[in-house]
Structure 1
Amino acid sequence: MAGGVGVASWARSSWRRLAASGPAIAQIVIAAMAAFAFAHWVLHHETPLLTITVAAAALGFKRDARPLRVLRTAVGMTVGILLAELAVHLIGVGFWQLALITLVSLAVSRFFSAEPGFAATVLVQSMLVVLVPSPVGGPFVRTIDGVIGGVAALLATVLVPRDPRREAAREAVASLDSFDEVLGMLVDALRRGDVAVSTQALDLARTSQGPTDAWAASLDTALSVSRISPFLRRYLPELESQRELHRSMDLAWRNLRVVARRADYLLRDGSARPAIADAVAQLETGTGLLRESFRDISTLPAARAAFVGVVRRLDPDEVMPHSTARDKGLVLALHPLLVDLLCATGMPLADAQRLLPAL
């Protein structure tokens, strides 16, 4: 049974990955075939293999599909092809020549990109030049094919772009899901005085930067492509607004880690803090509505209202008049978190700060 569940889970994740990669696959196929067609039927290159390999590798399935990255990848690969062709032309092909070309290809790849997989890609292109018989048309036909493939990949980012919003929205929802999960665990821990749950919340908060960084990378790509693509420029205001949301949520994550750390320390005495739990629960409600705003923008005012409703719970002298200094410290730690979340709804920073209770 367990094996069947594992296979079913693998199949579901595989289908989701394939569906998410559909636009990238279409973009790569169009760019590769356009490059091949131009080299084969316009320039009469008999087998322009490298047009396909360079176009496909330059675009790839990476989250970072910015034109600058595509250009850098294409240039690095084309330079590797050129150097391999020069080496074959000047020193011929043999064992030591292969070693030298391998060395040069790896050095070039590391110069152009820090990605480990890029080195293997450049080396493959170089080996195709060295080990596959030279095509008809001259010694540098394959370099020309590489240039054509790179140009096709770059044009594809502009003329056949992937949806710049879909990936960014998916990463945003993933980050907000994790944020919501940490808040939910803190509510549970504070209501029951359960330090084991608060420790789990703290551990999750400490490992949360990955989804937030992925969101930032997707946004950078979306903004870069939208600025140069005539088909996507209309999405720029929406993406700029999302970038402001990301900045606020990045700060909110940092403050949530502080809150989780304080809660974990405070709950070591095993006592429940229901008043603080109620405040955190309302923050959780607001972040849930904030997450829903990616599907339905009309939930954004409700998210702001939920956060504003927390303000009255954040005066430690009123909510917990007989509490310890450590309890009050935890309530005060929620203040900057609330400000960040209000800013995430579009409220100006000064307005959010003025809402906080005077201390």
Structure 2
Amino acid sequence: MRSGAATWASDGWRRLVESIPAIIQIVVAAMAAYAFADFVLGHRTPLLTITVAAASLGFKRDARPLRVVRTAIGMTIGIVLSEIAVNLLGVGFWQVAVITLVSLAVARFFSAEPGFAATVLVQAAIVVLLPSPAGGPFVRTLDGVIGGVAALLATVLVPRDPRREAARAATTSIESFEEVLGMLVVALRGGDIASSAQALDLARTSQAPTDAWADSLGSALSVARISPFLRRYLPELQAQQALQRSMDLAWRNLRVVARRADYLLRDGRSRPAIADAAAQLQTGTALLRESFVDISTLPAARAAFVAIVRRLDPDEVMPHGTARDQGLVLALHPLLVDLLCATGMPLDEAQALLPAL
């Protein structure tokens, strides 16, 4: 096993490598904003251009232009209110308290993220505690606007690759899906209640990676629609969005299957026929995941699911099973339909493949 220090270093290195595009984007935006304010407008030490540009972009997965604009507006309004307060009230202990209160209130209005409030407060503190620059009372407000505009332009003109984060989130979600199926195979084949409980626990906590995938795709599509450099990826991203929606539904149905299996296996009996079907589902899901790297595996994934669904008749899989056994087989039907749709098959065609009951 790796030591805690080795794990920390490995995670840090991976995080750094993954963040290089974001770092480049932030540096370009911040320095462009600073250069414009300094060399073009003559603002001395326009610190807020850097802080607003950097905070508006950040390292978040969601790099949608709307989020960047909303963040920049929230920060700039905080700066404006701080400048107004300083000019009307002056600078002192109670004035700082008032400005802090107003800045935090503005931040909470614009964003639910706790870190955003601290960021806005830093901008306000710069306005209150540092000497006023030459050029008038609202020079720093203009610097904030410049930083926000630079952040938005960087989103369009120096975009991060929208496919990389989405593909990474997709892989995480589908790998978890495969893992749950694998646990169910073990549980059903051996009547193992511990494995079924483990599968159910993992299925219940699966929404976070699925939501991360949806957020990454939403951000990627928003950027690709307005960036001339990424517009060519729109069809690919839209196809992946359709896949994500189908997999979201598949996850919901897999949770139902996991709950039914966990309840059913409390009798300690094995169900090898249902385990075989779950194992084939796992194989098809692995092929679906591989299609993100090699699209040629997508027909194989669809063929694997079609081969299962055509013979998933409860009377054939569990001819001597109880109603609950056959109910578990029936619970696989909507799951298979969702997985077939994830391969690009139309919903009506997928439903038509189900055995007649």
| TM bracket (short chain) | over 0.9
The residue that corresponds to 1:170 in the other structure is 168
Partners of 2:336 and 2:193 in 1: CA distance: 23
Amino acid at match of 1:203: D
Q: Aligned residue for 2:234?
A: 236
Counterpart position of 1:249: 247
What pairs with 1:1-359 in structure 2 (closer than 5 Å)? 5-359=3-357
**What one-letter code is carried by the residue in structure 1 that aligns with 2:355?**
P
Q: What per-residue deviation string (whole Å, max 9, x for no partner) do you get for residues 57-97 of structure 1?
A: 00000111100000000011011111111111111000110
Tell me the matched-pair count: 357
Contact 1:223 1:239 in 2 (8 A): yes
Equivalent position SS for 1:44: coil
Q: Distance in 2 between matches of 1:263 and 1:352?
A: 24
Distance 1:281 1:309 in 2: 13
Q: Shift of the alpha carbon at 1:138?
A: 1.3
Question: Does the aligned pair in 1 maintain the 2:311–2:355 contact within 8 Å?
Answer: no
Runs of 4+ off more than 3 Å: none
In the aligned structure 1, how far is the partner of 2:127 from the partner of 2:47?
A: 10
Distance 1:346 1:140 in 2: 55
Counterpart amino acid of 1:191?
R
Aligned-partner Cα distance in 2 for 1:319–1:294? 32
Mapped partners of 1:99, 1:304: distance in 2:
62
1:227-269: per-residue Cα shift (whole Å, max 9, x none)? 0001101111111111100110000000000000010111111
Identity %: 80
User: Contact conserved, 1:279 with 1:313, CA < 8 A, in 2?
Assistant: no
* 1:200-253, Cα deviation, whole Å (9 max, x unpaired): 000000000000000010000000000000110111111111110011000000
Structure 1 counterpart SS, 2:45: coil
Q: Distance in 1 between matches of 2:4 and 2:109?
A: 41
> CA-to-partner distance for each residue in 1:170-189, whole Å, 9 max, x for gaps?
00000001000000000010
User: C-alpha separation between the residues in 1 aligned to 2:288 and 2:70?
Assistant: 37
Consecutive unaligned residues in structure 1, runs of 5 or more: none
Question: d(CA) in 1 for partners of 2:86 and 2:352?
Answer: 71
Amino acid at match of 2:202: L
Q: Aligned Cα RMSD in Å?
A: 0.8
Q: CA deviation at 1:136?
A: 1.5
Distance in 1 between residues matched to 2:272 and 2:26, nearest whole Å: 55
CA–CA separation in structure 2 for the residues paired with 1:345 and 1:12: 35
Which runs of 5 or more residues in structure 2 are unaligned?
A: none
Name the TM-score, length of structure 1 as normaliser.
0.98
1:312 CA displacement: 3.7
Give per-residue Cα distances to partners, 1:290-338, cap 9 Å, x unaligned.
0111111111000001101112441011122111111100000000000
- After superposition, give the CA deviation of every residue in 1:21-65 in whole Å (9 maximum; x if it has no partner): 110000000000000000000001111000000000000001111
Inter-partner Cα distance in structure 2 for 1:204 and 1:248: 19
1:93 and 1:13 map into 2 onto residues whose CA distance is 44
CA–CA separation in structure 2 for the residues paired with 1:354 and 1:112: 48
> How far apart are 1:5 and its partner, in Å?
2.0
